[in-house]
Structure 1
Amino acid sequence: MSSMRIRLVGFCILALPLFTRGVETEIVFREAPHRYLEHQPDDRFARLRKGIESGGIKLDTTDDKAFLSSVLKALDVPISSQLLVFSASSLQSEIINPRNPRALYFNEDVYVGYVPGGKVEIIAMDPEMGAMFYIFDRLRPQGPVPPITRSDKCFNCHAGNATKRVPGLIAESLLPMLSGASAETYRRDEQGHQIPLEKRFGGWHLTGQHHLKENLANTMARRSASRGFEKIKIEPGQMSDLSLHLRPTSDILPHLVHEHQIGFENRVFHAAYVMRQLLADGRGNLALSAKPQVEELADELAQYILFVDEAKLPAEGIEGDPDFIREFQRNKKPVTNGASLKDFDLKTRLFKYRASYMLYTDSWQKLTPALKERVYFKMAEGLRDQNANPVYTHIPAEEKRAIRTIIKETVPDLPSWWR
């Protein structure tokens, strides 16, 4: 197969102010000090591209499903992470609807989208600049690997209010009509595990043992002469051909993990852009006037990492897809007693130990050291046995001790004072 060609389409992004609790920091991510477009990506997909171009990695172009499977395998993205969304909220919105849902797949640093009859889209997280957006041209079966475009159209949504004006990740909750267009919006400009489950899943299929008696999933709007429109339930496969996808599921557990991850990534990269700007404004040093903003960023990150305000699970808990659990935990980092940050609870909360496994990612590890140290300090304040910060009272003492041990033994580059 021939090497994959990369095309870069020009961007046209205006200077937009970014606000943090009343403190204004202007971020123009394509200009200094960020220079997003000039940055040479070092994300998982960028490395895959080099392997393809060198001839070391081959992709299967037999047909759409074979091509998608080979892309996922090359990126180490589990098929069991599949989520199905039927709202028209993508570059390929014209072909996404309840009759033709789009599939999403993910691991810790790559997000892959595919809609039958369309193209494969990829968002890969560069550890310095955040989300990098790629889309394959339409596959010609048995032909060469199609070229890839990085399009400015992604930034219409992926660098807006939802991501605080820097390249990031979004997940919406909508009530789609048969066309895929939205009749109602439940939530748009917010991501993360704090969002109540009753506000999630609009425009998405939801499968598995989720025990959600009332939810927005598997629902579309149909026009009604008397009421404008009415809501009707559509089970996965009722209006679409699920054989066009790699599996028939859109399980509750990958939904919850995906929401946690994108909330983490958006907060980390918002902070990374702000810190880069503040350091540039101070010519390599943080001005005294910048320190309150750094503290606010550190508070937000520490609280998210330790699952403050995590949304409640149903009273019966949930049951996750065993395939996803197994593949998600393949790279867990256990301590001597076997405990890890990837251990699930699924009874009252998502994880058994409420400290995010995303601490192992390059997104976190390459965050500005001055900010990262402040986050660790605030985490330590919340996890100590006595006189802990009351914000973290949701974590009992035994769990706090377990979290401290796991972090100390498995997270690299901790401050020397961490206990």
Structure 2
Amino acid sequence: MLHVESNKPGKAFFISCLLIFSLPDLALGQIEFEKPPINYSETDPDNRISELVQNLKSGNVTLEYSQQRGYLDSFLNALDISTTSQTLVFSKTSRQRRFISPQTPRAVYFNDDVYVGWIPDGEIIEISVADPKLGAVFYTIDQHKQISPVTIDRQLGQCLLCHASSHTDRIPGHIVRSVHTDRTGMPMLQSVAYRTTDRSPLSERWGGWYVTGTHGQQMHMGNLWSEETNQWSPIDQKSGSNLIDLSSKFDPTPYPTSHSDIVALMVLEHQVNMHNLITAANIEWRVYWEERNSQHVSREGTEAKLSEEDHYRLNLIANRIVAGLLFKQEARLTNPIQGTSQFQNEFEAKGPFDPQGRSLRQFDLTNRLFKYPCSYLIYSKSFQALPENLLNAIINQLKLTLNTSEDNDNFQIPIPQRQTLWSILKETQKELPKTWHPHFNPKPQTPNPKPQTLNPKP
């Protein structure tokens, strides 16, 4: 059975995996990401995994097989993914659910653009990557084939059944879910289910996950399951709180580390949501503009220019990205958070840093996740690959928001801290347009503003 849930509590349900159709069999005209210019299924990916595939074929990179974890260790090393990012999920909510249980949780590892799922004795390593043009792209490595070069296979239909569904707002995306489970890890049919983001209160997070770390009096759903098989039985949440050792829950020996770090979990939830927002914006604008331009060329014989309506739509899309970048309505912390691994130190060390040693990767963990609340994914290839008009609309909104003299409760960022954020961005984001430069002052929008370019002339 494949578990699927609504964003609203109490709306969990099950559907059979033996579906009579697969996603590619649906009317592709109804799926935005299969329209031009995205053409998701037909387009060759260009991302960290596709690069690794080429390096494996050319012999520039090799993956070593070990009896304990197959290709996992070598694969993580090849992509510079630290094992301190390990988070452990025991709910049966993924492709290899028959191998998953509270005694054999699925491990998830990640860096800024790649997510890796592994289970002891599992048949495959599951991989998803943020592709700058396509969104989430999925691959697997067969753990039973000891061949050279190793084959990394792209996956479409089976993965997209969940990863291009209502869970991801119908775009190819990543998912973090929180569910109540029974003692086998099976999600409870009549209980709550949540799609987790950085806006989710801790009380709704980590159902079906192991969590190591301290968090004071803040309760969460992690480290617990029901002994009943048909209904959720109330459990004292305190018994699953502030755990720093999971050895009483399962044998961690097969895993690279024994942690499921609470800080790594919080970063994972923000990153997944931000990647999905970037993908949705990229697909929505590119498909809209392709259709708009093709109609105009057919009618007028020339390429379309941005109209007032186009600018309005552009700014609506940009607003969603800015809200994600600046952690709008982020769930606030009421007690300090402390992880159990070296994840926090390694993550902060990546930078980049401004001349004063400040970085968007530095944590707060007392009142909110990051000290300087602007997402580090602003440095990502996915963000920088957004269409020119959309990228400039985002940048202008960021500049106006961070340099405003008016308070805005939605962002929960004090005015002095906004100015600090803008200063950090100017010093560390060298690849973006000249709109970052301190001499640039955008003119107030007119009813029909002219389109901007990525590199305006001085």
Match of 2:451 in 1: none
> Are 1:193 and 2:191 matched, yes or no?
no
Match of 2:131 in 1: 126
The one-letter amino acid paired with 1:402 is T
> Are 1:211 and 2:216 matched, yes or no?
yes
The one-letter amino acid paired with 1:264 is M
Match of 1:374 in 2: 393
Are 1:318 and 1:347, in contact at CA under 8 Å, matched by a contact in 2? yes
Residue identity over aligned pairs, in percent, reads 31
CA 56–290 in structure 1, closer or farther in 2 if over 3 Å, else same: same
CA 162–376 in structure 1, closer or farther in 2 if over 3 Å, else same: same
CA 147–405 in structure 1, closer or farther in 2 if over 3 Å, else same: closer
Q: What secondary structure is seen at the aligned counterpart in 2 of 1:336? A: coil
Q: Which runs of 5 or more residues in structure 2 are unaligned?
A: 1-21, 294-302, 439-458
Match of 2:12 in 1: none
Are 1:80 and 1:323, in contact at CA under 8 Å, matched by a contact in 2? yes
> Are 1:117 and 2:121 matched, yes or no?
yes
CA 41–228 in structure 1, closer or farther in 2 if over 3 Å, else same: closer
CA 337–417 in structure 1, closer or farther in 2 if over 3 Å, else same: closer
Note the C-alpha offset of 1:128: 0.5
> Are 1:360 and 2:379 matched, yes or no?
yes
The one-letter amino acid paired with 2:313 is Q
Are 1:61 and 1:140, in contact at CA under 8 Å, matched by a contact in 2? no
Structure with greater strand percent: 1
CA 186–131 in structure 1, closer or farther in 2 if over 3 Å, else same: same
Note the C-alpha offset of 1:110: 0.2
> Are 1:333 and 2:342 matched, yes or no?
no
- Out of 244, 253, 271, the residue aligned to residue 263 of structure 2 is 253
Match of 1:316 in 2: 335
Q: What secondary structure is seen at the aligned counterpart in 1 of 2:56? A: helix
Note the C-alpha offset of 1:103: 0.1
TM-score if structure 2 supplies the norm length?
0.81
Residue-pair matches, total: 398
Q: What secondary structure is seen at the aligned counterpart in 1 of 2:94? A: coil
Which sits farther off after the overlay, 235-244 or 343-352?
Answer: 235-244
Which sits farther off after the overlay, 378-387 or 128-137?
Answer: 378-387
Are 1:62 and 1:141, in contact at CA under 8 Å, matched by a contact in 2? no
The one-letter amino acid paired with 1:340 is S
CA distance, structure 2, for counterparts of residue 391 and residue 239 of structure 1: 42
- Out of 423, 428, 431, the residue aligned to residue 405 of structure 1 is 423
Q: How does 1:66-145 map to 2 (within 5 A)?
A: 67-118=71-122, 119-140=124-145, 145=150
Q: Which runs of 5 or more residues in structure 1 are unaligned?
A: 1-9, 18-25
CA distance, structure 1, for counterparts of residue 167 and residue 400 of structure 2: 30
RMSD: 2.5
Q: What secondary structure is seen at the aligned counterpart in 2 of 1:416? A: helix
Q: What secondary structure is seen at the aligned counterpart in 2 of 1:29? A: helix
Are 1:15 and 1:28, in contact at CA under 8 Å, matched by a contact in 2? no
TM-score if structure 1 supplies the norm length?
0.88
Note the C-alpha offset of 1:213: 4.2
Match of 2:414 in 1: 396
Match of 1:351 in 2: 370
Q: What secondary structure is seen at the aligned counterpart in 1 of 2:129? A: strand
The one-letter amino acid paired with 1:148 is D
Match of 2:167 in 1: 162
Note the C-alpha offset of 1:326: 2.5
Note the C-alpha offset of 1:378: 1.6
